[in-house]
Structure 1
Amino acid sequence: MDAELGIFLVFLCYTGCRLNEGLRLTCDRLILGEAFAYIEQTKNDDPRGVHLPPYLVAQLANHPRGLDRGKQKVFRFRKCGRLYTLMAKAKEAAGPDLAFVSFHILCHTWAT
């Protein structure tokens, strides 16, 4: 459907980041060579480092808009109806077994 949406969903699923944490991430806070991302603002306002598994590093390395964009956001999305519509379309395309999936569910899947 959308390559960047796919990478965004993989990022949320593989890191345990919340929706807003993923949306705020900027390119200068990613160090793919060290498989690391720095999340400046979390739910409890404490910054934290995030390990990036090899599959996610590969996905990010192939980001359709590239990552050499300094302080620009990694993902173009905003928390709005359009993003939730894209998620609904992705779930529909994935089939009925994933009807329960939400952005919040993804932050609970990373350690399983």
Structure 2
Amino acid sequence: MYGFHEVDAATLKQWFDTGVKFRLVDVRTPAEMSRGVIDGAELMPLHLVPLRAAELTSGGRVVFYCQSGARSAQACAFMAQQGMEDVYNLRGGVMGWVASGSRLATPSRESLIG
């Protein structure tokens, strides 16, 4: 059984505020991303995660998120199956982030294209 960790919005914000090093990956669709992203996120729609898995395995902690946490949990499970141990799912996704009082940023047009 391959496992992954979960992180809530308050803890993720604390990681930002205290300088904890991690990569943040948004696995939503470009249309969803265009409505706002968590600042600093890399945009990688879920279907591209298997194709770009090697990029994600080097360099420590990775936090995946989506709209509600379901698709990002799939990304986490996949990466755990690839042997990645320091992988986290943002519990509640963007909805949980916004509900916690945190803001979304506007992604650049170039990052949505790809």
Structure having the larger proportion of residues in strand: 2
TM-score (norm 2): 0.30
Radius of gyration: which is bigger? 1
Structure having the larger proportion of residues in helix: 1
TM-score (norm 1): 0.30
